[in-house]
Each structure stands twice: as C-alpha cells, then as structure tokens.
Chain A
Amino acid sequence: MTDVPTLSRRGFVLSLLAASGALVIGTRPILAAVVDAEPWTKDTPTGAHEFTPWLSIAPNGQVTVMVTTPDIGNGVVTQALSFVYEELGARWDDLRAQYASTSSDYALGGVYSKVNGSIGYFGGRSTSDERRITYMTAAANARERLRHAAAAQWNVPVGEVEARDGLIHHAASGRSTPFGALLAHAASVALPEDPKPKRREEWTHLGKDSPAKVQNPLVVSGAAVYGIDVKIPGKVYAALRQSPVMGGRLKSYDFESIRHMPGVRTVVEIKPTPANEKNILPSPFPMETTRIQAAVAVIADHYWQARTALDALPIEWEDGPGGKWENTQAMADAAMAVLDKPGGKVDFQAGDARADFAKGGKIIDASYLTPYCEHMPMEPLNGTALVTDKTVELWHPSQHTQMAFTLAVQQTGFAPENVTVHQTFVGGGFGRRAYGDDARMVVAVAQQYPGVPVHTIWSREESTRQGRYRAMVAGRLKARLGEDGLPTAFEAHGSGGPGMNFRGVSDTVFPQIVPNAHVETHILPDLHVLNGPYRGPGYNSGAFIMESFVDELANAAGVDPMEYRIRLYAKWQDKAWVKVLEELRDKSGWGQPLPKGQARGVAIGNWGMRGKPFAGTTCGAVAHAEVTQDGKLTIHRLDIAFDSGRILNRDAVRAELEGGAIFGLNMSLNEELNVEHGRIVEGNFHEYPMLRIGDIPQLHIHFGGLSDNERYYEIGEPPVGPVGPSVANAIFAVTGKRLRTTPFRKQDLRWGEKSASAG
C-alpha cells in the first residue's frame, strides 16, 4: 500500500523546479532542494548508502536527509537541510528531505527521538543546539569519509582534498570525483572519532543565506499532500460527532433513520477511555488530554455523504458534570473567586511581600481575565487509519509524529513493531496537533471499521467545539511602589482549569527583580473544558496580564511607560531586555506627537526563559492605535523587536515574527469561546472572527535587539505575548480605559463626550 510509485511524481517536481530555477526575479538565489509531495519515509533511492540514520547518499549524488520535526509552517524542514548543506559540501540542489520514520526510531532504540529528549520530534525546536549539532555532525562524518575515500584512491594526503559542490577535489592534480562514485569505499572508512562541526566563524551558509521553504513549489501547485489529501485505494470517510459537553456520554442514536441515505455504510460508536489507563510506551506529552471522548461517526463512501447523514442522525447525549456550567460567566466567576483563597501552588517566592505591603503607601491591585481560545488551524482536524487485527497504518498531519505513534500503540494495544505512522504536510498546528488526541481518535474510529482505510474528518464546527484550548486564565496582581516609583513588593495569583499555567507572570523577569515577590496558581478541577498547548502556552495570557499591570504601575508612578520599563528591566542581569526596548523606542517613533485619538503602547515579554537570564526569546512590541470617540479601534502600525540570542535564517525569522505578531493581534482583538450549559457555543469563522488582509497594520520587524548571546531560541511563540498588551496599553493612552480582559472587540471603547453620553 505504501509503495506508491514515486518516481514519476518526483520527476514532475524536479522539472517544475528546474523551470522555476531559470527565472530570477529577486535577490534570493533560486535554490531547488526538494521534499516529496508525500513527505513521509517511503523509498530509499536505489543503491543509496546510509551514512548515519540521519543521512544517506545515492549513486546519483542525491542526499536524503531525515527530518524528525513536522513542518507546521515554520520552515524546519528547510532548516534541517541548511545544517547538512553547511557541512557536507553537497550542492543544494542535490538535497532532499524526508520525514524520519517513527518505526525506525522505535526499532533503533530512539535514534531520532532521543535528540532533544522527550520532545524529540516536536516542531518548536529545530534550531536547538542538540538538533543543529546532530545534523552537522552527521554531515561532517559523511564528508570526512568521502574525503578519506578519495584521498586513498588518489594516494594523496587527506589534507589535500576538499568537498565542494557534490565533488571531492584535489587541487594540486586538478582531479575531482563525485560523491556518488565514492560511496562503496567511503562506507568502509572508519573514522577514529566523529569530526567536530565547523565553528560559527567558518560558516558560509548558516546565518548568511535565507533559503525559502523547500516545499513552496508543492504548495503553490496544490501538489503538497496534507493529511486531508492522502489518497489510499479503497478509502472511506467518517464524519465525527463527540459529546457536545466534554466528558459527557452517549445515550443513544438511531442508525435506522439514516441507513437508507446514499453511500452510508454504518454508524460506529467510540467509547471513552477510562481515566486509569496505563501508558504502554513512554509518552512524550501527558496522556490525559488525549483520552477519547464519547463519540459517534457515520462511515460512508464519500465525505459529503457521511457529513450529510451525520447531520440527519438523531443522537442523544448525557451531559455529565460539565453540564452544570450554565454560561461562561459562571466559569469565570469560579476562577476569580478562588484567587483570594489560600492553598495555591507556589510558583515563585522571594523576600517577604506581606511585610512590605504592610508598610502601606502606593498599592496597585488589579484583576484580569483571558478567555478560552481555539487554535483554528486552517486544515480541520483529520487523519486516515487502516486497522487490522494486529496492525495499524496511520497517515496523519501530526505536529509530533512520535506522539501520534505512541497513541496509535496506546489506543490499539498492538505491538509497536506493527504500527506505522506516515507524517503528511500539516495545515497549521499552533499546538493543537501536538498532544495527539486527534491522531488517537482517528485510530479509534478506524478500529471500529477494521480492514478498510477510514479517513475521519472533523467539520470546522466539530474542530472548534472539540478543541484542547488555550486555557481561561484569571489573575490578580498587587504591587507596592517605592519612593522611586518602582515596585518593592509583588503578589500574584492565577487560576484556571487543569492544564492552565501562569507562565509569563511566574517565570518572567518581573518577580525576580522585585525584592519581595510571591506568585501562586490555583487549579480548578471541575472546569471541565479541556485545555492544551496554544502558541506560547501560559505565556500568551501571562504576558498580557503582566505587561498590562506594568503599564498600570507606570501610570501610577506618573512615568512614561517606555521610560518606566527601561528603568524597571535595567535591574535584570540580561541586558537584552533594555536593548529590545531601546530598539523599539528608537525605531517606532516613540514619543513623537500623534493626532488626538491616537497613541502608542508598549509591552515586552520572554518565551522560554523559565526564570533564567540569557534564555528563551525576549520580544517587545509597540502598537500605534487609534480609537475614535465612538469606540472604533484601528491599529495603524506594529513594531516588533526581539532577542533570541542569534539567528540562522533571517527571512524565516522575519516570517515567523510577522505571523506570530498577527496571531497575537487576532488573539487579543477577536478570540473568545463561550460556554452554554457546558457546551462550546462558537463553531465557525462567522462566530470566531479572524483578521483578514485589510485589517493588518503596517508591520515593522527590527533585528537590533539581538544580543549575540550563544543560542538560537524559538521565534514562533515570542511575539504572541507582547502584541496584545501593547495594543491595550495604547488604548489606555487614548481613552483612559484599562482593558483587563480580552478580546478587545467586545469592549466598550467610547471615550470623551461619547463615553459620557453613553453613560
């Protein structure tokens, strides 16, 4: 089944690329490394020699690189090729990427997943030291063996030969020979030890070139195979409905009433996973949120038939405990109420905040709330599985292939050797496809219809209402200001349902630089709506809460918010915070006069620092906003500056910052899920609006905040934190209204005379 003839497809791809290669339309060199339209591990070119599990070379010189990280739009596949390109001396055009097989990983004792520990496959860390060094070492190893082989053949010292453009050259004699001709000999070369990758000063490609994503030609031609596009002979479709209240049960359904509908094969019931299940394999991510929810699925020959029949199927549910929540407000009230109670988990503690507060003086105390949000990846959740009596084959747009593999094993109880996962292209992740509950459900549905490949597709509404959401977070923050206007004591409480965390408040700089600080979180187990990772988990809410609060302090101290932050964060040993702020101040036009009704706001945060200096990515934003007196909000411009230490592919970094800033803007302006009688209300984009092209402010991405500290930290998450509060702080500067909840579109922003007349 997996041996689809790939040569003709590859032939097509290559000719398409060759044609575009002739066209020079800009400054970017047209580079033509490839990935297959079906990117999973399938074929090894005939006669190819595997140098390491990461890299093989074929007699025609083609280099196949195994990539463990699904590319969810961040360019990780291209980055892996860049690492190899830097070391190997191959031609870029000879590089080809393929997703590493989870089966090989299992069979070879975790050869891929060990790199970067338990999150080995995860999409977020393509530039970590471990990953980079692994690829570069593998490539250097292959290069050295090729050099030794050529030197031996020519009987010249190894030091006289070099690898370049897919050839080994001997300058003195003018000889050269292609990699492909040296494979057999190179295979027998034993190196005394793994060569060290080049030092950064020696790099000629990394940090200098910005290759575009290698899959772009496949994307623009419509050929890239996403999960929803897999073609498998005999495939049938399932339309899925899960208990509208998470944790609810299926009471009954009436198959007879739809049995006659065209194409309908059957209705299957999917039973919830018991809470006490034991892990079969070690799980990269927690298993709890992957538990199957009670569901029914209609299976039909074609998707539209399945979908139409599902809509016509009478189903009765028993809501379970989550049904008690009449509306979102009741849940928010519960989260708020617990903030004043003792007994939270202490996340941070320094000095004696209580004693300092007792001194009185200027104390600022404010409460915030951020709602549940859904990732809304453009590709609705889906996947295809073929389950037999002892095997599973899964084709899936996973954000973490190893987790999908682990869950296919978990769901069926089959031997891991009998489970195969094919990683497809992924139509957006943002965390939604990391924990793998979708992969597990796909397997669970197919289990009920064995022997036939079943493609389960969530409707957009089902995808939205059955998310693993950005948690609702309630927060209460209190600070006392000293004589200089800077805080001397800080106390913060956060709360939310299981899976919520208070990062962005507890692990950011602020508590570390206030002499007396105490941060704790309270988890409410009966908030039944399931949470999961969403672009910058914890941080996306935490940064809004923290940096809105800092703005409140600046206002109370009577200091310009930019100036206040520079003074405040100057106390932190990692000077990049101040550098990022100064870059923003200088580049955004901060302080320059604006017409009435317009103002700038600033915010800063760090994704990934976990309380440590010189870690994570610090990111700041300045928003230039306009609010008319009758409350209409326009964002004219966003300036972004950041410090990830160093960067490798400038244009890829820019693209991620652009996308992340827009994601953060949408989250803050638009996003909110509501609950009624335990059910999620919003289903589709008319209820959960997205910014469109005409809503996007001018975006200015600045690189002057980079510290050159020795790390290449993540880029996708960082801007999601500061953009929202920078807008809220600009709105405050115009209207005098402090926004302590999101989304802003739901709030009354009228000011001046209009505000008065509105009462």
Chain B
Amino acid sequence: MSYSLKINGAAVDVDAAPDTPLLWVLRDHLGMTGTKFGCGVAQCGACTVHVDGVAARSCQFPLEAAVGVEITTIEGLAPNAQHPLQRVWVEANVPQCGYCQAGMLMAAAALLEANPNPTDDDINLHVDNICRCGTYPRVRAAIHKAAEMMRG
C-alpha cells in the first residue's frame, strides 16, 4: 500500500505494508540509515525519532500511524548537523562505537525542546536509551553543556 509521509520537512511516498515499523520504512525503503535498529521492542532507543516534536521509538511505530504527522530523524535534526547537542557531542568525544548515539541525540533533543534546563532526574527519565559502550557519563555532561549553550 502507498502512504504519504512528511519526513524532515519533505513529503515522501512509501509503498509498504501498513504494519511495517517506521524504523524499517526509514532505513530500508527510504535509505535513511541514521536511525538504528537495536532491539525492535522499544527497549533500547537506538531507533528514536521525533513525531510532532516528541521522542518516539520508531521500531514500534507502524507506518499507517505515521501519516499526517511530522517526522524528524537524525538526518533532519539540524542543518549540517549543527544542533548544539551535535556540536558538543563531537567536541566532548561522547561516542564510542557510536551506534546508539543517533537515538541518544534524538531523545536528548526532544528533552531540551520541552525543557531547556533539565535536571539529572529529567535526563534519567527521558534519555533512558541503552549504550552498551557506557558513554552515559559523557551523555549527561554533554546534555547539560548543550542546554547551557542554548539558553545563551
């Protein structure tokens, strides 16, 4: 079946079964591979995207539900990947293998959008993605740093 989606501000058409997870629509049908597959069961957050500005785990988000909403992926987070979080991430050497990081960034960006001055508890609650490499201390520090930059 054919669906029209709005991804990173652009309209795209996809031909796939209605229950296909948005994750695989993005990765496989649209070639947008920045969004990662980690678990498929909404546990790890590697597949995090924004749906109408809110963090969502795309592996459990069926294609048919993605119609009529604004979807943002890591590729569209900021022009030239210059979101303050992305800039701090590079500088603070946050990534190790890097595989979980797109999901971390999307979760963190949604948090900062809703809450420009998050506490540690806010981060614990909203950025509960899995990083097997153990980048957590740097993720936390980088979110605080980016929040500070964004507040000016």
What's the minimum C-beta distance from B45 to chain A, rounded to whole angstroms? 9
Which residue of the partner chain, among A28, A223, A224, A378, contacts B44 with CB atoms under 8 Å? A378
Restricting to A184-228, which residues have a CB under 8 Å from any CB of B?
Answer: 210, 212-213, 215-217, 219-226, 228
Q: List 15 A-B contacts (CB under 8 A).
A: A216-B98, A228-B36, A302-B24, A303-B24, A304-B20, A425-B98, A430-B132, A457-B37, A460-B39, A662-B136, A663-B132, A666-B134, A686-B43, A692-B128, A692-B130
B98 x A215 contact (CB < 8 A): yes
What's the minimum C-beta distance from B44 to chain A, rounded to whole angstroms? 6
Q: Is A754 an interface residue (CB 8 A)?
A: no
Contacts of B44 in A (CB 8 A): 378, 685, 690
Which residue of the partner chain, among B29, B80, B96, B97, contacts A302 with CB atoms under 8 Å? B29
Q: Is B99 an interface residue (CB 8 A)?
A: yes
B95 x A380 contact (CB < 8 A): no
**Which of the candidate stretches A44-52, A673-681, A693-701 sits at the interface with the other chain?**
A693-701
What's the minimum C-beta distance from A232 to chain B, rounded to whole angstroms? 11
Contacts of B58 in A (CB 8 A): none
Contacts of A459 in B (CB 8 A): 40
B16 x A693 contact (CB < 8 A): no
What's the minimum C-beta distance from A382 to chain B, rounded to whole angstroms? 9
B86 x A221 contact (CB < 8 A): yes
What sequence of 0s and 1s flags, for each residue 99-118 of chain B, a beta carbon within 8 Å of any chain A beta carbon?
11110010000000000000
Q: Give the residue name and chain of the B residue nearest to A662 (CB).
A: B134
Restricting to A636-667, which residues have a CB under 8 Å from any CB of B?
Answer: 651-652, 655, 658-663, 666
Q: Is B75 an interface residue (CB 8 A)?
A: yes
A693 x B140 contact (CB < 8 A): yes
Contacts of A593 in B (CB 8 A): none
Chain A: interface residue total (CB-CB under 8 A): 70
The 4 nearest A-B residue pairs measured at CB: A222-B34, A694-B124, A427-B99, A662-B134
- 4 new A-B contacts, CB < 8 A, other than A378-B130, A430-B132, A690-B130, are A16-B81, A212-B93, A425-B98, A663-B134
Contacts of A217 in B (CB 8 A): 81, 90
Given A220-B90, A228-B36, A303-B24, does the pair A428, B133 have CB atoms closer than 8 Å?
yes
Q: Is B137 an interface residue (CB 8 A)?
A: yes
Q: Is A377 an interface residue (CB 8 A)?
A: yes
Restricting to A300-322, which residues have a CB under 8 Å from any CB of B?
Answer: 302-305
A655 x B93 contact (CB < 8 A): yes
Contacts of B17 in A (CB 8 A): 262, 304-305
Q: Is A497 an interface residue (CB 8 A)?
A: no
User: Roughly how many angstroms separate A213 CA and B92 CA in the complex, as a whole number?
Assistant: 10
Which of A212, A262, A375 has its CB near the most chain B CB atoms (within 10 A)?
A212
What sequence of 0s and 1s flags, for each residue 356-391 of chain A, a beta carbon within 8 Å of any chain B beta carbon?
000000000000000000011111100000000000
What's the minimum C-beta distance from B94 to chain A, rounded to whole angstroms? 8
B133 x A73 contact (CB < 8 A): yes
Q: Give the residue name and chain of the B residue nearest to A217 (CB).
A: B90
Contacts of A652 in B (CB 8 A): 93
Q: Is A60 an interface residue (CB 8 A)?
A: no
B92 x A26 contact (CB < 8 A): yes
A693 x B87 contact (CB < 8 A): no
Restricting to A603-633, which residues have a CB under 8 Å from any CB of B?
Answer: none
- Contact-residue bracket for chain B: 35 or more
What's the minimum C-beta distance from A166 to chain B, rounded to whole angstroms? 23
What's the minimum C-beta distance from B151 to chain A, rounded to whole angstroms? 14
Given A19-B82, A304-B24, A304-B28, does the pair A221, B34 have CB atoms closer than 8 Å?
yes
What sequence of 0s and 1s flags, for each residue 20-34 of chain B, a beta carbon within 8 Å of any chain A beta carbon?
110010011101111
User: Roughly how many angstroms separate A627 CA and B102 CA in the complex, as a whole number?
Assistant: 35
Q: Is B46 an interface residue (CB 8 A)?
A: yes
Q: Is A74 an interface residue (CB 8 A)?
A: yes
User: Roughly how many angstroms separate A378 CA and B46 CA in the complex, as a whole number?
Assistant: 8
What sequence of 0s and 1s flags, for each residue 231-266 of chain A, a beta carbon within 8 Å of any chain B beta carbon?
100000100000000000000000000000010000
A212 x B138 contact (CB < 8 A): no
Q: Give the residue name and chain of the A residue nearest to B89 (CB).
A: A220
Q: Give the residue name and chain of the B residue nearest to A426 (CB).
A: B97
Q: Give the residue name and chain of the B residue nearest to A685 (CB).
A: B43
Contacts of A305 in B (CB 8 A): 17
User: Roughly how many angstroms separate A497 CA and B76 CA in the complex, as a whole number?
Assistant: 49
Q: Give the residue name and chain of the B residue nearest to A652 (CB).
A: B93
B95 x A226 contact (CB < 8 A): no
Q: Give the residue name and chain of the B residue nearest to A24 (CB).
A: B91
What's the minimum C-beta distance from B122 to chain A, rounded to whole angstroms? 10
B128 x A694 contact (CB < 8 A): yes
What's the minimum C-beta distance from A78 to chain B, rounded to whole angstroms? 9
B74 x A222 contact (CB < 8 A): yes
Q: Is A758 an interface residue (CB 8 A)?
A: no
Which of B33, B75, B97, B139 has its CB near the most chain A CB atoms (within 10 A)?
B97
B96 x A74 contact (CB < 8 A): yes
B97 x A378 contact (CB < 8 A): yes
What's the minimum C-beta distance from B3 to chain A, rounded to whole angstroms? 14
Q: Is A15 an interface residue (CB 8 A)?
A: yes
A685 x B135 contact (CB < 8 A): no
Q: Is B69 an interface residue (CB 8 A)?
A: no
Q: Give the residue name and chain of the A residue nearest to B45 (CB).
A: A692
What's the minimum C-beta distance from A543 to chain B, rounded to whole angstroms? 18
What's the minimum C-beta distance from A61 to chain B, rounded to whole angstroms? 24
Q: Is A392 an interface residue (CB 8 A)?
A: no
A219 x B134 contact (CB < 8 A): no
B36 x A378 contact (CB < 8 A): yes
Q: Give the residue name and chain of the A residue nearest to B31 (CB).
A: A231
User: Roughly how many angstroms separate A20 CA and B81 CA in the complex, as a whole number?
Assistant: 9
Given A685-B44, A686-B41, does the pair A696, B137 have CB atoms closer than 8 Å?
yes
Q: Is A23 an interface residue (CB 8 A)?
A: yes
User: Roughly how many angstroms separate A100 CA and B97 CA in the complex, as a whole number?
Assistant: 19
B90 x A20 contact (CB < 8 A): yes
User: Roughly how many angstroms separate A684 CA and B38 CA in the complex, as a whole number?
Assistant: 10
A219 x B149 contact (CB < 8 A): no
Q: Is B5 an interface residue (CB 8 A)?
A: no
Which of A20, A221, A666 has its CB near the most chain B CB atoms (within 10 A)?
A221
User: Roughly how many angstroms separate A430 CA and B99 CA in the complex, as a whole number?
Assistant: 14
B100 x A378 contact (CB < 8 A): yes
Q: Give the residue name and chain of the B residue nearest to A301 (CB).
A: B28
Contacts of A651 in B (CB 8 A): 93
User: Roughly how many angstroms separate A262 CA and B17 CA in the complex, as a whole number?
Assistant: 9
Q: Is B56 an interface residue (CB 8 A)?
A: no
Contacts of B40 in A (CB 8 A): 459-460, 684
A377 x B91 contact (CB < 8 A): no
What's the minimum C-beta distance from A519 to chain B, rounded to whole angstroms? 31
User: Roughly how many angstroms separate A719 CA and B34 CA in the complex, as a whole number?
Assistant: 31
Q: Give the residue name and chain of the A residue nearest to B143 (CB).
A: A693
User: Roughly how many angstroms separate A16 CA and B99 CA in the complex, as a whole number?
Assistant: 20
Q: Is B66 an interface residue (CB 8 A)?
A: no
Given A655-B96, A694-B128, A696-B137, does the pair A220, B86 have CB atoms closer than 8 Å?
yes
Contacts of B51 in A (CB 8 A): none
Contacts of B36 in A (CB 8 A): 226, 228, 378-379, 427
Contacts of B147 in A (CB 8 A): none
Q: Is A72 an interface residue (CB 8 A)?
A: yes
